[in-house]
Structure 1
Amino acid sequence: MKTVGFLKTLGSVVAMVAACSVYAQTNAPATDTASAAAAVKAGKAANHQLGRKVRAALTKTQGLDVSNISVRARGGAVTLTGSVPDEGQIEAAGTAAKGVAGVTSVSNKLTVVQQ
């Protein structure tokens, strides 16, 4: 009779260990989610920093009116939107943006609006 009681107790312990093991494995991806969130945050910070560098380069460009130019950076690709007073400034803005370190491509969507 003692053997049956011992086997029941042993079976309960094995079941508890298995349940704890399964629980630990199902919660394991939480660290992957945290690292993915950190990677997204780092990517956004890099995009923001690249956008600031491009804006600074545009501001330093002689003869370029940057008051109506918006810059968006995503993974090295930069998009320029807005308006400038003449056609020559569109080319100047694109050239300045391409010259910034980290820029892989420039989509120049600037338009000419007479002021």
Structure 2
Amino acid sequence: MKAIKMIGGALIVLASLNAYAQNDAASAAAAAPAASAPTAKQTAKQTRAANRALSRKVRGVLARTKGLTVGNITVRAREGAITLAGSVPEAAQIDLATNAAQGVPGVTSVKNALTIRAIGQ
């Protein structure tokens, strides 16, 4: 009789541990999406940082390009795609800016929205 009580007690303990382990697994599974959310947010932060860095690189190359006035040029980057906006004083500078931007490592495409505007206007 004593052995039956011991076996019954052991079964109750095992069932309790199994239920406790399942509860922990369920809470861990519920916490997993919450843990992945900051990762997605971190990825968005990294993407924005990469876009800013590429934009600065392109702006630096444009500033060092001889014969190009960059005072009114805005550079936007989005996952390797560069948009040049603003104005330049001569039509030749539009092509010069496009070619300089295309030569920057990491640039996949260049959209040129530059216009011609004389200095002082």
TM-score per shorter chain, which class?
0.7 to 0.9
Amino acid across the alignment from 2:116: V
| Structure label with greater radius of gyration | 2
TM-score, normalisation: structure 1: 0.82
Post-superposition offset of 1:24: 2.1
Q: 1:22 to 1:89 in 2, by over 3 A?
A: same
Q: Which runs of 5+ in 1 are unaligned?
A: 1-5
**TM-score between the two structures when normalised by the length of structure 2:** 0.78
Q: 2:111 aligned with 1:111, yes or no?
A: no
- C-alpha RMSD of the superposition: 2.3
2:97 is the alignment partner of 1:93: yes
* 1:33-71 alpha-carbon deviations (Å, 9 max, x no partner): 122222221111111111011000100111111111000
1:54-69 correspondence runs (5 A): 54-69=58-73
**Could you tell which deviates more after superposition, 22-31 or 81-90?**
22-31
**Residue 76 of structure 1: aligned partner:** 80
Query: What is the aligned residue count?
Result: 115
User: What amino acid is aligned across from residue 109 of structure 1 in structure 2?
Assistant: A
Q: Which piece of structure 1 moves more, 66-75 or 41-50?
A: 41-50
